[in-house]
Amino acid sequence: MHFSIRQSASAVRQSSPVLVAACVWLGLMVFVAVFAPWIAPYGYAEQDLLLRLQPPSFAGGPPGHWLGTDHLGRDVFSRAIYSIRISMAVAFFGALIGAVVGTSLGALAAHRRGLVEEIVMGLVDVQAALPFLIFALLVIAFFGNDLFLFVLVVGFQGWERYARLARGLVLDAKTRGYAAAARSMGLPLWRVYFVHIGPNIAGAMAVQFTLNLPETIILEAGLSFLGLGIQPPLTSLGLMLNDSRNYILLHWWLPAVPGALIFITALSMSLIGDGLRDWLDRSQR
């Protein structure tokens, strides 16, 4: 199973306009996340207390703040840009942590079998028994909140699914001829796993990764919304939404901007994940 550029290009041509729009949106979000400091006209914590709660330019607000300002006179557009940067970074690195930890543990369980497998799968059961939001809240309550720990916690979201998937795939791969052949030729173990088995399970893991991304975004924004995730003065989409709660009555743009960004981004990611899964299913048949 290889992802060649020619195959990907043909997959894009065959796919629906909705999927293309999702890809374009996600690409835009990645671009904004990477180049945030050059795009944002103001800093995310820059206050102008004389221009508080101004409506967007197109709704009669001042020309300098085209999405308006919040209760501290901070530019909503600039804060949204930086929030996208933070949320995307937390989601991406977080999802990567879960993927690496889960896949390694799953592969280890399939490799060693016996007691190791029992312990890993037991941990998977424990994790699956506890709603992840509750688990994250527990860790934050016990260990306090700092950015590094927060990314780590958010990242563990979904590790048990990678572990289950990787274990199943590696067990399956071990029964196939190529793995036994590679082993019998006396190749070192790391080569068998990274060069021979790895590429064969990479497609399924990539699909799991894209399906996991929107959940990570939603979890990050949710914890920040509860005031237990990203802490001010840093900003995140969930934090912006939480800040806006007291101003819904007269200032609709304050919740609308972060709410729409979270929804469209999570939607794009799950559409791409679904599309990728369907495409992988088709190409394996």
Map the footprint of another protein across residues 1-40, applying CB under 8 A.
Answer: none
The token duo for 126 is: 């424990």
| Choice from 45, 108, 222, 234 touching another protein (CB under 8 A) | 222
Least separation in angstroms between CB 191 and another protein: 35
Closest approach, Cβ 43 to another protein, in A, equals 26
Binding status of residue 186 toward another protein by CB under 8 A: no
State the nearest-atom distance from the C-beta of 211 to another protein, in Å: 10
Cβ neighbours around 135 below 10 Å, total: 16
**Chain position carrying tokens 């999802």:** 95
Nearest-approach distance from CB 245 to another protein, in angstroms: 7
97 touching another protein, by CB under 8 A: no
Q: With contacts defined by CB under 8 A, name the span among 48-56, 158-166, 167-175, 263-271 that binds another protein.
A: 263-271
What tokens appear for 261 in the block?
């960004």
Beta-carbon contacts of 94 under 8 Å, excluding residues fewer than 6 positions away, are: 151, 152, 154, 155, 157, 216, 220
141 lines the binding site for another protein (CB under 8 A): yes
Q: Which is nearer to another protein, 32 or 218 (CB)?
A: 218
* Contact (Cβ atoms closer than 8 angstroms) between residue 91 and residue 151: no
Cβ neighbors of 284 (< 8 A, separation 6 or more) are: 1, 203
Distance of alpha carbon 192 from alpha carbon 184, whole angstroms: 10
Is residue 67 part of the contact set for another protein (CB under 8 A)?
no
Residue 202 is a binding residue for another protein (CB under 8 A): no
Residue pair 277/34 in contact by the 8 Å Cβ criterion? no
271 binds another protein (CB under 8 A): yes
Cα–Cα distance, 183 to 106 (Å, whole number): 20
Shorter beta-carbon distance to another protein: residue 178 or 263: 263
- Residue in the structure block whose two tokens are 């029992």: 118
Neighbour tally for 118: CB within 10 Å = 11
Would you give the binding string for another protein spanning residues 100-129, x where CB under 8 A is met? ----------------------xx-xx-xx
User: Which parts of this chain interact with another protein (CB under 8 A)?
Assistant: 122-123, 125-126, 128-134, 137-138, 140-144, 214, 218, 221-222, 225-228, 238, 241, 244-245, 248-249, 252, 255, 259, 262-263, 266-267, 269-271, 274
